[in-house]
Amino acid sequence: MSLTLSFPTHPTPVNIGDESIVPQYSQHRSSAQTFEFFDFAFSLRDQAQLLVDIKRRPTDAAFAYIVTPNVDHVVRIQCKRSDLWPIYRNAWITLCDSRILGKLARRAGVPLPVVPGSDLTVALLRDIVQADDRIAIIGGNPAMVDILRQRFGLSQLIHHDPPMGFIHDADATQNAVRFAIAAQARYVFIALGSPQQEMLAYRISRTGQAVGVGLCIGASLQFLTEEQARAPKILQRLCLEWLFRLTHDPRRLWRRYLVDGPLIFHIFRQWQRRRAG
């Protein structure tokens, strides 16, 4: 059976909180610091360089956010949710969170660094964040936040947990945005799952009133506090983290990994043809 994926040419309006906009597809191309792969401008900086860049950013600089696309993100945006393009295109930094994407990039001749959001989160809290830095966490539960506060000695840690499905509720979305603005935090960890966390980060940045670095990190804090198990290192190195997660939560994840995930290889072939043409 032949499968053809359509890459949208006509923008679809995207509703984020209480605003509706029309995507404007970027004409970005690869630069010295980025590689245009699957239409994402992936950073070519490794984790050490990224930590330096994040640390150097002024505390009062306008809010800018980091996204960490993996296979699931790429398949979603290429096949289902073209309305999300502006969110990724307006990110400060786009990191490759997938060893599978990294291997595909190497097949295209580019050694794309793989910087998982979970690893970046650990390194930030361990090596960069200071005890008196103002930190905001959006998502997670109070018990998780207390563990982080105690483990890293964070004296200015504040927390907001939006209700389930908040992104479809204008008031709940606005409450989360207002929290980020009022926090005036140096680091904002947005732990809500994708694409809600990226949608919220974009919405915060659009206000022009928030400061700090926003990190869209999914379950990273849950891994760090051991609320959720992360795949063993050997499975991560073998690109089998997806299998570990699938066996632990098959009902929720079977479609993502067994139906949608394999589409990445067809997307890659289409990308190669477009690149060659």
Domain boundaries, the chain: 30-267
Partners of 171 in the β-ladder: none
**Exposed, middle or buried: residue 122 (CB in 10 Å: 0-12, 13-18, 19+)?**
middle
Structure tokens given for 148: 């982080």
Q: Around Cβ 53, how many Cβ atoms within 10 Å?
A: 14
Give me the pLDDT at residue 276, please. 87
pTM, whole model, 2 decimals?
0.87
**Exposed, middle or buried: residue 181 (CB in 10 Å: 0-12, 13-18, 19+)?**
middle
Average pLDDT (119-144) is 97
- From 135, 129, 94, select the one nearest 115 (Cα to Cα): 94
pLDDT at 58 over 50: yes
Q: Read off the pLDDT of residues 161-214 as tens digits, 9 standing for 90 and up.
A: 999 999 999 999 999 999 999 999 999 999 999 999 999 999 999 999 999 999
Mean per-residue pLDDT of the chain: 89
Average pLDDT (1-22) is 40
17: left (phi over 0), alpha (psi -120 to 50) or beta: left
Q: How far is CA 64 from the centre of its chain?
A: 13
Q: Which amino acid is at 259?
A: V
pLDDT at 114 over 50: yes
Average pLDDT (10-22) is 41
pLDDT at 15 over 60: no
Q: Read off the pLDDT of residues 83-107 as tens digits, 9 standing for 90 and up.
A: 999 999 999 999 999 999 999 999 9
Q: How confident is the model at residue 32 (pLDDT cuts 50, 70, 90)?
A: low
195 cis-preceded (ω within 30 degrees of 0):
yes
Give me the pLDDT at residue 16, please. 44
Give me the pLDDT at residue 277, please. 77
Structure tokens given for 54: 């994040």
Percent of the chain with pLDDT over 70: 88
Give me the pLDDT at residue 46, please. 96
Give me the pLDDT at residue 147, please. 97
Give me the pLDDT at residue 272, please. 94
